[in-house]
Structure 1
Amino acid sequence: MDYKFMKNAHMMVAAPTGGGKSYFVGWMAEKLYQAGRRFIILDTKTRNHIGLVALKKLKLLKIKPNTQYDYWRLINYDQVLCIPTERTKTKELITHYRAILDTIFAAKKPITVFVEEAHNYNPNPHVPD
């Protein structure tokens, strides 16, 4: 299957636990990688990303607690995977991911953004954030 179905698309991948969501997102990222397209994956879990980490040009950024980052440096990479360390709390991670997204959008370079576990980004469904 060609990656073109993802061009200029907004989509949500939903399934129960164990339904293959992360596998599907990984597959989509690999297709973008093969096509030389830019992407960033923001994951809230430290899950196993063996297939993606094996990609030669992929930048792996492990978000550590109480650490400052220069997110403008991420703009220099075409493929990025961001994950927390075991000690990073979700609330702090979300703060980092918001800063990453702000930087990406300010850079105005086309990029596919994957937001894993998106429900963690806004804990109150009644308040838009």
Structure 2
Amino acid sequence: MSGPRLVPVRGADGRAGWSLVAANGRRLATAVRGYRSEPELASGVAELLAERAALRFVLSQSEDRQWTWTAYLPARSTRAGAAGGEAVARSARGYLRRDQCRQSVTGFLQGVEHVRRMWRTSGNPW
């Protein structure tokens, strides 16, 4: 079955991360944080998949006028500064128009849902 998939990646600092890749090979999103180990990465992916409906998306425009989005998990704490939650994913590229960026959010959520179904079936997000 083809469709979006998670691809593990290694950062320059040696930390593990992921990219969400469409069936055509184009990257849709990347992890914001790096994980110290494969089990920590798997735990982070599991949390993303479990909390997908509660993600909050922030669209922003960079200095070069490209629109991007960042996905945040719900806040787990009532401490000061925790209101925004934890950034977990960002768009893999910039978009010329805000509506294209919003469509990318929809594509990301559809991809995450596909990965969740595949993980439930196979027991492996990769």
Do these two structures clear the TM 0.5 threshold for a shared fold by scoring above it? no
If the TM-score is normalised by the length of the shorter chain, which range does it land in?
Answer: under 0.3
Q: TM-score, normalized by length of structure 1?
A: 0.26
TM-score, normalising length: structure 2: 0.27
Which has the larger helix fraction? Answer: 1
